[in-house]
Amino acid sequence: MALLNASNIRSQAAQSLQLIAFEGQSSSDVLAHIEFENPSDTSLFKAIVLGACRYFQRLEALSHLLLRKKFKPKDQDLLCLLIIGLYQLEYSRVPDHAAISETVNACRLLKKDWATKLLNGVLRNYLRQQEQLNQTLDNDWETKFSFPEWLINRIKPHYKGQVEQILEQSNQQAPMSLRVNLMKTSREQFCVALDDVGLGYQQHPLVDSAVILEQAVPVQSIPGFAEGLCSVQDVAAQLAAQLLAPATGQTVLDACAAPGGKTAHLLEFTHNNLRLDSVDIDPQRCYRIQENMERLELSAEIHAEDALIFMQSKAEHYDAILLDVPCSATGVIRRHPDIKLLRRSEDIAELVNIQQRLLAAAWQALKPGGKLLYATCSILIEENNQQIDAFIHQEINARLLDLPPELSAISQSKLGCQLLPGTQNMDGFYYALLEKQA
Q: How far is Cα of residue 181 from the mean position of the Cα atoms in its chain?
A: 22
Catalytic one among 80, 286, 327, 377? 377
Q: How far is Cα of residue 285 from the mean position of the Cα atoms in its chain?
A: 16
338 annotated ligand binder: no
Fill in the amino acid letter for 60.
E
414 annotated ligand binder: no
258 annotated ligand binder: yes
Q: Please name every residue paired with 430 in a beta bridge, in sequence order, or none if there are none.
A: 376, 418
262 annotated ligand binder: yes
Q: 136's torsion region: left (phi>0), alpha (psi -120 to 50) or beta?
A: alpha
35 phi and psi angles, rounded to 5 deg: -140, 150
d(CA 168, CA 163): 9
260 annotated ligand binder: yes
Q: Please name every residue paired with 7 in a beta bridge, in sequence order, or none if there are none.
A: none
Alpha carbon separation from 304 to 166, 193, 281, 287, 309 (Å, rounded): 36, 37, 5, 9, 11
280 annotated ligand binder: yes
Q: Contact 404/412 with Cβ under 8 angstroms?
A: no
Q: If DSSP codes are grouped into helix, strand and coil, which group holds residue 257?
A: coil
261 annotated ligand binder: yes
Number of neighbours of residue 285 by Cβ within 10 angstroms: 15
85 annotated ligand binder: no
Please indicate whether residue 230 is annotated as part of the active site: no
What is the C-alpha radius of gyration for the chain, rounded to an integer number of angstroms? Answer: 23
HSE at residue 70, side-chain half, CA atoms within 13 A, is 7
Q: What is the DSSP letter of 5?
A: P
Among 238, 241, 236, 231, which residue's Cα sits nearest to residue 178? Answer: 231
Q: Contact 333/170 with Cβ under 8 angstroms?
A: yes
Alpha carbon separation from 95 to 47, 89, 103 (Å, rounded): 15, 8, 12
HSE at residue 115, side-chain half, CA atoms within 13 A, is 25
Kindly write down the DSSP assignment for every residue of 127-191, as one continuous string: HHHHHHHHHHHTTSHHHHTT--HHHHHHHGGGSTTTHHHHHHHHTSPPPEEEEE-TTT--HHHHH
**Residues annotated in the binding site, as ranges?**
256-262, 280, 306, 324
**Residues annotated in the binding site for S-adenosyl-L-methionine, as ranges?**
256-262, 280, 306, 324
Q: Which residues are catalytic, by number?
A: 377
